[in-house]
Structure 1
Amino acid sequence: MSQTPPDPTRPTGRRGKGFRPAASLLAARVQKAAEKRGFAVSRLLTHWPEIVGADLAAVTRPVRISHGRGAFGATLTLLTTGPMAPMVEMRLPELRDKVNACYGYNAVQRVTLTQTAAQGFAEGQASFAHRPRPAPPPDPAMREKAAEIAAQFTDPTLAEAMARLALNVSIRNQTKTLKG
């Protein structure tokens, strides 16, 4: 019994079983981009705040890993802003240990800092996440207005949520008028 050849216009097989996480769809592309910059482990790029800590991740970003000829160990180049460079430089041994813990062996021998714009992963983006300023405390009049709004509801959870919403809106409006 002979089989008929498959129709080229009709897709063959199943594409997958249900939904897949978005990270799995991009994993191959991220790995390929990371390898171009010398990163054998793309986890160093994708989980940078978890590896080095939130305080260092807020002021640094990995740019490249370069391997010297015949030398054991690589050089990790980090991007940082000018004022933060001396602070980061004091913590380079700690940072190197954390990166090597990610690799599982002493892969990085040196860490260098650069203050130029990043090339490759985030062209032209040299800004880092800064800590937001705390909001001004609400004045008593705002608290009274929020309590009046909350008193309209019988459910205590809903009343608390509405009071918080009223306070947040009034604080936001107050900061807008101060800035404007």
Structure 2
Amino acid sequence: MKRPPPPSSGARRLIRPGDGQAEAEAWAWAQRHRGRPAIAPPPAVSRALAKVLKPLAVHHGPGVSELAEHWAEIVGAPLAAHSRPEKMQAGAGGLTLVVRARGPAAALVEAQSARILERVARYAGRAPKRLRIVQGPLAGLAPAAPRQSQRPAAPSGLDTEAQSLDRIMAEFQRAVEEREGVRIGPAPAPRPKGDE
């Protein structure tokens, strides 16, 4: 039994090599029936954020975190060990740089405030008009270890703690015996001075 030929519209037919018209029809059919392309992923946040932050950084200069990273270069290593920039405040009098200093280092920061403001202006591109100093501990730095007081060595010829305790106990026992009129027991013998 012979099959009837397929209809010409949209029907499949065998493509023989070298048949240009059949290859063009096959290509056109594949283009019409191709699946939809994959959805493009969203753009990277870093690229989108860079487009927003770059113009702001040019206009406003670096932030306090960048100042803190380069603080040793701006004020010098000895002063940077005892101070940190905290924030930039805008006010009616202009821009103010707030610096946190540990203890007496605040006086050193105050003494070099003109130099610090000049260097911050050179680095940041915007010049703070004033420097405000806040005294207190620095965040991120371990507090200085408390110094242990060294007890002076006992001069020779004086009692040690154990000998003085024995002496106090012997005197206490004698006082109790005198008050009560009873002998409590043998008095503890004081320790010799060289024995510890």
Name which one, 1 or 2, has greater alpha-carbon Rg.
2
Q: TM-score, normalised by structure 2?
A: 0.41
Q: TM-score, normalised by structure 1?
A: 0.44
Higher share in helix: 1
